[in-house]
Structure 1
Amino acid sequence: MTDINGTTDTPPRPVAVVTAFRAPDDLVERIASLNAQVDKVIVVDDGSHSLGRLGLRDPDVVTIELEENVGIAAALNVGLDKARELGATHVLTMDQDSSLPGEYVREALQHLHRLQARGFRVAAVSPARFGEFLVSTTPGTPHPRDPIQSGQVVPMAVFDEVGGFDERLFIDGVDTEFTLRARGAGYEFWVLPGADMDHSLGEKIPVMVFGRHLTLFGKKRNHYYHAPFRTYYAVRNGLVLWRLHRRGNLGWLTRRTLALFWVTALGIVLSSDRDAQFIATVHGLGDGMRMRLGRIPEKTLRALARRRR
């Protein structure tokens, strides 16, 4: 019997859901590492048909090949449905390029249980650091401002109440939208102190000013490159979040939008495909204002391809 916080009278049964697209060869090692921490690993290939060559034969690894690319939100939801079918009490959501310490799931479940025993409504526990970045938390609290979905341990009861991921967003902002929806339902996200997750952030480009690497607050600043189509989704979905969740989140969304503006501006200025980055931003703004959701339009992809030549 599961209560509203996801606690049970029986031992937890965590299941990992890993989304893949053009799965890299080293995903096999990551899955093996996860498999030692959870009851089952569900790998959902988002339409790239790339899992067959990996030779995943472990009975505790369930592979699902989607016929077409439907976006990370839909792929995650397919994995969640399968995890529910397998009797999961908790779900660990993971990107294909993320790796966790060997005791992470056990420690996350223990932390989650302690918080629930104190009466907190816990949406998820996530790592305190990913890549080279310490997770930004609300000042004076252990609550991450905008936790990425990779590395989160979520009670299945939370998904049952709040719902899964918003498939209209396709990619980018999917985790943020879930965070805002869960918080609106009275849940909070927590970091697991001391837990580090290896996570790919994209190609690092130094921010140069007058030929010197920019240093702010004692730290050298870099821009992490993403392809123009990702810029489109980030900009579009950033506007959509305002439409969906502005009530009660004005300050939070303002800070996030300013950060997005900075990242997008750096992409336009620093990237070798700056023309395509600019076009992606313009199209993302237009579609976001019109609430045109789902997969990036083909005409936008063609415009980006022309600008990248």
Structure 2
Amino acid sequence: MSGVEGGVAGGVGGGSGVDRAAVVAVVAVHDPGPGLVDLVSDVVAQVGRVVLVDDGSRTGLEVVEGLRDRVTLVRQANAGVAAALNAGIAMALSDQADAVLTLDQDSRVPPGYVAAAVATWQEAGRRGIPVSAVAPASYSGHPAPTAGRLHGHAVAFDPMQSGLLVPTATFRAIGLLDEGFVIDGVDSELTARCLTSGLVPVIAPGCELGHGQGDRLPVTLGGRRVTLRGQPLSYNQHSPDRVYYMARNGTVLTRRYARSEPRWVARRLAEEARAHLLRLTFSPDRGQLVRAALEGVRDGVRGRYGARP
């Protein structure tokens, strides 16, 4: 299945010679809705194979079963998005695929997305960039954060895993996703590990990923919307479990990479702190969320790992 020719210093080369058949899309699924059918329809014509990993779904099973003839279906007990993606990535590695496109079930991949990502990988490789992954330029119309430019290419700061085109050489060089993170920060840990190894995530111009924003609530005081620089403030509402993982895994990331990637860690901490501040201040169930966040920080400091006790 391999079609890569050539390479660059650092072990991860450009995608010279890669075609659609050499890319495997891996979709992590848990209790999906009908939108999963649209995602598969989006991506199936752009890659050689779609691997759907059902992570212990209890609902939406009819949606998953209805896709059997279009995807390779893998079922496993609920273990989190990292374990689900790793199951599909392992299949891609055994297939000798050149790259993996990782996706959430609520994403949308427009026509030409994979071709544009591969073209960016090829061009960056030709310019001597040791590419760890290729990220979209925007998520649902919101520009992706960048961290400067390298040889004419925008460097992605902390890209989400959904929509990420990762050369299989990256996984062979540094290992698979860290399953101990379970859900949140899985992509950030991969990025930090790549940066520490000298591998660089780049952005593909024109790649626009549609991605679900979750439950986003407005910031209000006294019944009135709060604005900053003329823009209304809002925040993503999450369950206590999710906030626990965000706080714990953020703490683990900070401890693990503060020395090797201090600027990256500091910027990520600042952005996460702002999101947490809004959520923990204005959420209707802020008491539960504060307790979950404190528990997460405590466990992160103590080095506790894996599923929440």
TM-score (norm 1): 0.90
Query: Is 1:183 the counterpart of 2:195 in the alignment?
Result: yes
- Which residue among 299, 303, 309 is the counterpart of 1:287? 299
Match of 1:23, SS state, is: coil
- Provide the residue aligned with 1:127 in structure 2: 136
Q: How many Å apart are 1:81 and its aligned residue?
A: 0.5
Structure 1 range deviating more: 206-215 or 165-174:
206-215
Mapped contact 2:82–2:182 kept (Cα < 8 A)? yes
* Alpha-carbon contact 1:15-1:88 (below 8 Å) kept: yes
CA distance in 1, matches of 2:221, 2:61: 47
1:117 counterpart (82, 103, 126): 126
Would the aligned equivalents of 2:113 and 2:207 in 1 still touch at CA under 8 Å? Answer: yes
User: Following TM superposition, by how much is the alpha carbon of 1:7 offset from its aligned partner in structure 2, in angstroms?
Assistant: 4.6
1-structure distance, mates of 2:205, 2:117 = 10
Q: Deviations over 1:8-58 (max 9, x none)?
A: 775430110000000112201211211010000001111125564121132
Aligned partners of 1:15 and 1:40 also within 8 Å: yes
Shift of the 280–111 alpha-carbon distance from structure 1 to 2, 3 Å rule, reads same
Cα contact 2:237–2:283 (8 A) shared by 1: yes
Amino acid at match of 2:214: G
Choose from 92, 105, 108 the match for 2:117.
108
1:198 matches 2:210? yes
1:7–1:137 distance in 2 versus 1, CA, 3 Å: closer
Deviation per CA, 1:174-209: give whole Å up to 9, x if none: 100000101111111111112211111221111224
Q: Quote the Cα distance in structure 2 between the aligned partners of 1:6 and 1:188.
A: 11
- Do the aligned residues in 2 keep the contact of 1:45 with 1:51 (CA within 8 Å)? no
Match of 1:208 among 210, 220, 223: 220
Letter of the structure 1 residue corresponding to residue 12 of structure 2: N
User: Runs of 5+ in structure 1 lacking a partner?
Assistant: 298-309
- Shift in Å at residue 145 of structure 1? 1.1
Aligned-partner Cα distance in 1 for 2:84–2:279: 28
1:113 CA drift (Å): 0.4
Alpha-carbon distance in structure 1 between the residues aligned to 2:169 and 2:59: 32
Does 2:12 correspond to 1:5? Answer: yes
SS at the partner of 2:124?
helix
Is the Cα contact below 8 Å between 1:49 and 1:65 reproduced in 2? no
Residue 56 in 1 paired to residue 70 in 2?
no
Retained in 2: the 8 A contact 1:46–1:71? yes
- In 2, distance between residues paired with 1:168 and 1:246? 19
CA contact (8 A) 1:165 1:174 kept: yes
Deviation at 1:271, TM superposition (A): 1.4
The CA RMSD over aligned residues, in Å, is 1.8
Out of 241, 262, 266, the residue aligned to residue 253 of structure 2 is: 241
Equivalent runs, 1:10-49 vs 2, <5 Å: 10-12=17-19, 13-48=22-57
Q: Is the 8 A contact 1:177 1:241 kept in 2?
A: yes
Task: Give me the identity figure in percent.
Answer: 37
Task: Tell me the amino acid that sits aligned with residue 193 of structure 1.
Answer: P
